[in-house]
């Protein structure tokens, strides 16, 4: 076997601890491990990791992706703007909500890259996601702009 599929990851058999881990563990991996442990705050690596995760998700429509995002408790995404080659997605209750504000720091790049990978596969074209707002830099929510070409 070369690796785990997302379906493999859903096979959980923990008698006493069940299928959840605390949010602070996810934050530790994301914000201490990936941001501080990798060069350049993990930028290129995080994008590659996120895209790979996004491509592996068992979703075949935009709606299924947004549902899964909520089910995985990354955050509660909603589309706030839609035009020909642009989608804006706001995420309420993002995993970063409640962290201390650090001006000019956006920390949800991995989650954007997950969207990029998943939508790229769903739409079968190159998709670009940009993180435009983040709770951590003092915004009212996290937000992404999704763009693509024909």
Q: What residues line the site for Zn ion (CB under 5 A)? A: 94, 96, 108, 142
Q: What is the dihedral of CA 122, 30, 91, 114, to 10 degrees?
A: -10
Radius of gyration of the chain (CA): 15
User: Which of residues 94 and 114 has its CB atom nearest to Zn ion in the complex?
Assistant: 94
Taking the complex as a whole, the smallest distance from the CB of residue 50 to Zn ion amounts, in Å, to 13
Asked if 122 contacts 96 with a C-beta cutoff of 8 angstroms, the reply is: no
User: Which of residues 72 and 123 has its CB atom nearest to Zn ion in the complex?
Assistant: 72
User: Which of residues 101 and 123 has its CB atom nearest to Zn ion in the complex?
Assistant: 101
User: Which of residues 94 and 146 has its CB atom nearest to Zn ion in the complex?
Assistant: 94
Taking the complex as a whole, the smallest distance from the CB of residue 70 to Zn ion amounts, in Å, to 14
Geometric angle at alpha carbon 111, from 49 and 108, rounded to 5°: 110
Other C-beta atoms lying within 10 Å of the C-beta of residue 37: 11
Residues 6+ apart with CB under 8 A from 48: 113
Give me the phi and psi of 79, to 5 degrees please.
-80, 125
C-alpha 77, offset from chain centre: 10
Q: Which residue is nearest to Zn ion (CB)?
A: 94
Taking the complex as a whole, the smallest distance from the CB of residue 9 to Zn ion amounts, in Å, to 22
**C-alpha–C-alpha distance, residues 90 and 86, integer Å:** 13
Taking the complex as a whole, the smallest distance from the CB of residue 95 to Zn ion amounts, in Å, to 6
User: Which of residues 38 and 141 has its CB atom nearest to Zn ion in the complex?
Assistant: 141
Taking the complex as a whole, the smallest distance from the CB of residue 23 to Zn ion amounts, in Å, to 12
């Amino acid at each position: 076997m070369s690796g785990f599929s997302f379906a493999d990851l859903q096979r959980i058999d923990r008698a006493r601890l069940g299928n959840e881990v605390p949010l602070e563990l996810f934050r530790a991996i994301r914000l201490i491990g990936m941001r501080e442990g990798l060069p350049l705050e993990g930028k290129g690596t995080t994008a590659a990791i996120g895209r790979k995760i996004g491509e592996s998700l068992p979703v075949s429509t935009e709606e299924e992706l947004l549902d899964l995002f909520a089910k995985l408790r990354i955050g509660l995404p909603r589309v706030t703007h839609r035009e020909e080659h642009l989608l804006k997605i706001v995420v309420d209750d993002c995993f970063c909500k409640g962290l201390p504000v650090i001006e000019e720091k956006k920390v949800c790049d991995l989650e954007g890259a997950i969207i990029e990978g998943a939508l790229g596969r769903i739409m079968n074209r190159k998709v670009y996601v940009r993180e435009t707002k983040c709770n951590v830099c003092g915004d009212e929510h996290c937000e992404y702009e999704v763009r693509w070409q024909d």
